[in-house]
Amino acid sequence: MAKVKISTSLGDIVVRLYDETPLHRDNFLKLAASGFYDGTLFHRVIPNFMIQGGDPESKGAPAGKRLGSGDVEYTIPAEIKSSLIHRRGALCAARLGDEANPEKRSSGCQFYIVWGEVYPEGRIDSLARQSEMQALNRTFSELVRQHRDEILELRRNRDHAGLSDLQSRLEAEANAIVIEKGLGKLSEERRKVYTTVGGTPFLDGEYTVFGEVESGLDTVEKIQSCATDSADRPVEDVKMKVTVL
């Protein structure tokens, strides 16, 4: 079982890396062993949300410099698993947004650790409905992409009836896929986690979760409580050193 220690001026964080996400696990271990992260900052910190680090440009960055665009020269294929969720303490890979990155490939180096919130029952119900609707919209959009050539042909022919019929068929197919696969559905286990432990459930299915904090959540809490500037960078640098255990 692979583990790393993230040492900071505010304390240590020990993280267990998941075997279920071997590409992310092995990449993180490689970078940590090479000293890649040593001296880099937690450059983006949002209270009640997460702490983000791993930007190579943050090493030695002057005060006030905007950070977050640095990366390595590769990305990692998504390893999104329904069983690995954004609970408090989850280690996750940052990435570019869907428009530039529809495959949800991960940054080769930037990561974040979830803090999030503890959700009351009423709010989690609303979030569950929103999650199911987002899953339906994503599935429909993917089907539209798959039928792009057919749609373009119908448009060229100004076949409005054909377009309407195709839209109805794709909507029905998307709905059937969502129901069959349970996409966006908030299981009782996830509901329990988010109403007791806390986290960021709206990120599930969107970013790869590849580890979790085993000890040092108090350090994560301290970091996410730091005073920050307008770009969410801590006013006082929080440097890290990452060691493979």
Residues 140, 36, single domain; the answer is no
Residues 133, 58, single domain; the answer is no
Q: How confident is the model at residue 104 (pLDDT cuts 50, 70, 90)?
A: very high
Residues 72, 42, single domain; the answer is yes
pLDDT, residue 162, reads: 87
Name which residue leads in pLDDT, 161 or 178: 161
Question: How far from 156 is each of 24, 135, 159, 242, CA to CA, in Å?
Answer: 44, 30, 8, 56
Question: How far from 195 is each of 50, 76, 107, CA to CA, in Å?
Answer: 17, 31, 30
Q: How many domains does the chain have?
A: 2
Residues 105, 224, single domain; the answer is yes
pLDDT, residue 178, reads: 78
**Is the per-residue pLDDT at 70 higher than 90?**
yes
Judged by average pLDDT, the poorest of 37-41, 134-138, 199-203 is 134-138
Within a domain: residue 192?
no
Q: Is 225 exposed, middle or buried (0-12, 13-18, 19+ CB in 10 A)?
A: middle
Residues 131, 104, single domain; the answer is no
Residues 91, 132, single domain; the answer is no
pLDDT, residue 107, reads: 97
- CATH of residue 46's domain is 2.40.100.10
Residues 166, 58, single domain; the answer is no
Residues 130, 102, single domain; the answer is no
pLDDT, residue 177, reads: 84
Residues 49, 103, single domain; the answer is yes
Within a domain: residue 164?
yes
DSSP code per residue over 130-176: HHHHHHHHHHHHHHHHHTHHHHHHHHHTT-HHHHHHHHHHHHHHHHH
Residue pair 50/113 in contact (Cβ under 8 Å)? The answer is yes
| Total Cβ atoms within 10 A of residue 108 | 18
| Domain membership of residue 138 as a residue range | 121-181
pLDDT, residue 242, reads: 98
Residues 112, 157, single domain; the answer is no
**Is the per-residue pLDDT at 17 higher than 90?**
yes
Within a domain: residue 188?
no
Average pLDDT in the chain: 92
- Gap between the Cα atoms of 220 and 30, Å rounded: 23
pLDDT, residue 179, reads: 74
Select from 130, 152, 181 the last residue of a domain: 181
- Gap between the Cα atoms of 5 and 195, Å rounded: 28
Within a domain: residue 238?
yes
- Gap between the Cα atoms of 113 and 41, Å rounded: 13
pLDDT, residue 135, reads: 80
Tell me the pLDDT tens digit for each residue of 26-58. Answer: 999 999 999 999 999 999 999 999 999 999 999
pLDDT, residue 50, reads: 98
Name which residue leads in pLDDT, 118 or 1: 118
Residues 55, 152, single domain; the answer is no
pLDDT, residue 69, reads: 93
